[in-house]
Amino acid sequence: MPALLLLSGPSAGLRYEIQAEATIGRSPSCEIPLPEDDHVSRRHARFFVQEGQVRLADLGSRNGTAVNGERVSGEVLLHPGDRVQVGKTTVLVEPLGAASLAGTVPEGTRLLPVEEVLPHVGTEAALYSAGAALLGATSEAMVLRRIAEASLHALNADAAAALLGDSKGLLTAAVVGAASVEVPRDMARATLERSEQGRSAGALCSPLVASGGLPFGVLYLERSEPDFSEADGRLAAMLGRLGGEAYAAVRSRAGSQPVRVDMAGNSRPFRKVVEQARRAAASAAPVVLSGEPGTGKSLCASYIHARSPRALGPLVRVDCRDTASLQEVLFGRASGPGVPPVASALLHADGGTLLLHHVELLPRALSERLARLIARKTAPALQGGEEPVDFRLIVTAKAPPHVLAVKGELEASLVRQLAGLELAIPPLRERRADIPMLFELFAARSARASRMEPPVLAPEARQLLMDYEWPHNVRELELLAERLALVHPGAQLHALSLPPEIQAGSATPPQLTLQERVARLERDAIAEALRTAGGKKIVAARLLGISRPTLDKKIEDYGLTVTRRRA
């Protein structure tokens, strides 16, 4: 059954299934009420299912309804992963899941409150309590503190400690029940080097260890009486394993940040790429994004992930230029004394998207191993061997895979695994109509961060930016806009405000194709006609022998500025 997930706004986190239709708005009578969102009309929009597909209709709302950033009117078809903006509320269209609700309660079913089912005493209760605490830990230090606290209570100890390091020196990470503890050296050495549990009358030392590796720390407990039993030892071993797994998991997740998607442009080549990216988002096939450096391949990958059914899953990025740590990042690392394990990027991406930047720089040996794992849909397991994974693969490259394979820059086995969708991201010089808008976007963002007013382009400066070849593409334009926004806040930017290379134009203009030459001649002819007509479009259209709507369309495509001359 189709479902909607509220990602932001006063009701963020709520989920609604659509059986036939559902109205969203401030009115309590709406199936999806948003009483606290004052930017929403009483009956704002209607979601409904038609022939198994979700559709949306705006109900004449005051502030309008947007789908993926574009305001809509009338009825529109929604796809899995689409984001609908209603006031302050963002609604995600969820894909159909493999499991759904159907039928009635089977005869003879017993329904019990879950609190009566959960364990409250004994070993099961101790493990449940520790597991719940560890799952809620948000940092490595919190994991160690919580496992020490859980062990203290579960084993009725006087003091408990979680320590990291090797037999040569332990780092006290967390101590509860006492100001300090002293761990017998021989007991710690046996625990760390031979993965043995040490137990005496009043002390117990058990490994902190994750699957398949050597201990990287110890869990130490003291109590005056009674002596630790074999049952206590078994419980301490299980708690040490839970703590080790939780520590490794939190460490692996550290540093991940949500990706902000920001694609902008209205030129014809850019609109084509955006449409291709939308179709790619609905597919599960691998995607190859090729193009020159700085064209926005990374942003396009983020855009595809954000619109895909895997949008709520992780987007794991791996830069293949970092050859020093690439093998460990891609395939993980087992734990050793004082060294916790590292999960592979393939494991991190399970349920989401794996993005490989500059895939042509991946060494041959790693390419072959990666191709085998992708073909088997497995990843290196922390405990050794392999385990199944499910991720979507996106790569960026300087050229299409078959071109790289012919040059010997990409392993053939990996090329076969990349067979799917290919998107060529155009360089900035092929989408000149977007240059003024992108400059203003970057300048405004930089000025906003500095709490200043953005600069304004004068017509001659705008034309120079349009004529420049931009060898480093969008990234070069972004850096220029940010710098000018800081140097000339709120001022009008004239030609002399621009760098010398832009004032002088391209020193070595590239060889143009016939189509590019014709386009440049057409643009110059339109600009000359507009100047001759004093900015009057109807007169310029008559001089060019074309209709006024055709002239308007070409002015938009070429990003021309129309200046009216006063009589």
Q: What does the pLDDT look like over 57-78, one tens digit per residue?
A: 999 998 999 999 899 988 999 9
What whole-number percentage of the chain has pLDDT above 90?
26
Q: Is 420 a residue whose pLDDT tops 50?
A: yes
- The mean per-residue pLDDT over the stretch 481-493 comes to 86
Place 166 in a pLDDT band, splitting at 50, 70 and 90: low
Lowest mean pLDDT among 189-193, 265-269, 303-307, 458-462: 265-269
- The mean per-residue pLDDT over the stretch 188-210 comes to 90
DSSP of 163-212: EEEETTEEEEEEEESSS-----HHHHHHHHHH---EE-SSEEEEEE--TT
Lowest mean pLDDT among 83-87, 155-159, 406-410: 406-410
Q: Longest Cα pair distance anywhere in the chain, in angstroms?
A: 104
Q: Alpha carbon of 342 to those of 72, 163, 240, 389, 469: distances in Å? A: 46, 19, 18, 16, 44
Residues 36 and 17 sit within 8 Å (Cβ to Cβ) = no
- What are the pLDDT digits (tens) for 85-104? 999 999 999 865 556 565 66
What is the rounded CA–CA span in Å between residue 268 and residue 538? 24
How much is the pTM? 0.57
- The mean per-residue pLDDT over the stretch 474-501 comes to 86
Which of residues 250 and 518 earns the better pLDDT score? 250
- The mean per-residue pLDDT over the stretch 35-64 comes to 90
- What are the pLDDT digits (tens) for 258-288? 455 667 877 888 888 888 998 998 888 999 9
- Please provide the average confidence, as pLDDT, over all residues in the chain: 85
Structure tokens at 5: 């997930």
Place 543 in a pLDDT band, splitting at 50, 70 and 90: confident
Residue with tokens 């938009």: 556
Q: Is 453 a residue whose pLDDT tops 80?
A: yes
Which of residues 259 and 481 earns the better pLDDT score? 481
Q: What angle do CA 519, 524, 529 make, to 5 degrees?
A: 125
Lowest mean pLDDT among 37-51, 311-325, 518-532: 518-532
Pairing mode, strands 89-94 and 83-86: antiparallel
Half-sphere exposure of 233 (CA within 13 A, CB side): 15
At 88, phi and psi to the nearest 5? -90, 0
pLDDT for the residue 342:
81
Place 11 in a pLDDT band, splitting at 50, 70 and 90: confident
- What are the pLDDT digits (tens) for 314-336? 788 999 988 888 988 999 887 77
- What are the pLDDT digits (tens) for 207-254? 999 887 889 899 999 998 888 999 999 999 999 999 999 988 887 775
What angle do helix axes 537-544 and 548-558 make, rounded to 10 degrees?
100
pLDDT for the residue 507:
44
- What are the pLDDT digits (tens) for 138-151? 667 778 888 999 99
pLDDT for the residue 167:
57
- The mean per-residue pLDDT over the stretch 410-436 comes to 89
Q: Alpha carbon of 395 to those of 287, 319, 400, 415: distances in Å? A: 6, 10, 10, 11
> The dihedral of CA 157, 235, 166, 254: what is its sign?
negative
Structure tokens at 349: 């991406």
Q: Is 434 a residue whose pLDDT tops 80?
A: yes
